Amino acid sequence: MTGHERVTTFTRDGLTFDVRDEGPIDGLPVVLLHGFPQDSRSWNKVAPLLHRRGVRTLAPDQRGYSPGARPRARWAYRMSELQKDIAALIEQAGLGPVHLVGHDWGAAVAWGLATSQPELVRTLTALSVPHPAAFGRAVLTSRQLLKSWYMVAFQLPWIPERVIAPDGPAYRVLLASGQSADEAKRDLEPMRDRSRAQGALNWYRAIPFASPGSLTDKVRVPTLFVWSDGDTAIGPVGPKLTAQFVDAPYTFEVLHGVSHWIPDEAPERVAELLGNHLLGQS
């Protein structure tokens, strides 16, 4: 592709991924990566605000979420594969280096791609989840391990698939975390499809396959990190440590009174911060 054609799908290793490509076709290219248990719709409030600023957004449904990209083996969801998926999107779209934005697990993928293939990333923006090395230190030195209990629970077979079903306990957990009822239903309803639920959970089940060395690499592209102090999943220690792992212009923003679900809950503020970050580095 030339970069001036709409991208509705891309392929890699026999898998087909769905993409929401919106905004001005010649606009500043921004790739938006969703987290768990969401999909590209998690950016529905942010994307239109970016389009008004002349930004073109490409939001893929990532591995496990796109119907055509749901391998069954958990090792197929290791971080290196998730990063290569997004590299394939950028390369096939013909966009050159892009502004890369990720929330939750999408932030983890964005951190990884920015370190492994910085030539594809013009700027990095991570929402909620800190640099992997900072997160690892937080697990060892703070209450972060208690906050991340579900990462261990999701290693179990079969049971988590039932937990994240629309009528399972996950709905109440999402509400308790600050998500609205409508958005919790939006994210859990697709989990009726067992293959999707398994694919989404396999992101957690593939954690043991991560390469430890790659987690400590520093980011060397301009970086914006946004954390919210109402986040029940990510405590303050990892976010505070993240600056140590960025060797480039770095901005850290704290959203007060906002839950983990930043793109849904504070889209105007996210769009404002992104606009300043992207346009300031373009």
Q: Is the pLDDT of residue 282 over 80?
A: no
23-37, 147-161, 202-216, range with the lowest pLDDT: 202-216
Contact call for residues 30 and 101 (beta carbons, < 8 A): yes
Residues annotated as catalytic (active site), given as ranges: 104, 204, 260
Token digits of residue 258: 């906002």
Q: Is the pLDDT of residue 194 over 70?
A: yes
Do the Cβ atoms of 54 and 24 come closer than 8 Å? yes
Nearest alpha carbon to residue 46 among 55, 37, 38, 181: 55
As a whole number of Å, the end-to-end CA separation of the chain is 22
Per-residue pLDDT band for 127 (boundaries 50, 70, 90) equals very high
Please name which of 4, 62, 240, 76 lies closest in space to residue 144, comparing C-alpha atoms.
240
Residue-wise pLDDT tens digits, 64-77:
999 999 999 999 99
**CATH superfamily membership of 9-280:** Alpha/Beta hydrolase fold, catalytic domain (3.40.50.1820)
Please state at what angle helix 105-116 crosses helix 132-141, rounded to 10 degrees. Answer: 120
List the domain boundaries for the chain: 9-280
pLDDT, tens only, 226-245: 999 999 999 999 999 999 99
pTM score over 0.75: yes
As a whole-number percent, the residues of the chain with pLDDT over 90 amount to 93
pLDDT grade, residue 214 (50/70/90)? Answer: low
CA distance 242 to 219: 10
Which pLDDT value is given to residue 50? 97
The answer on pLDDT for 213 being more than 70 is: no
CA distance 134 to 245: 8
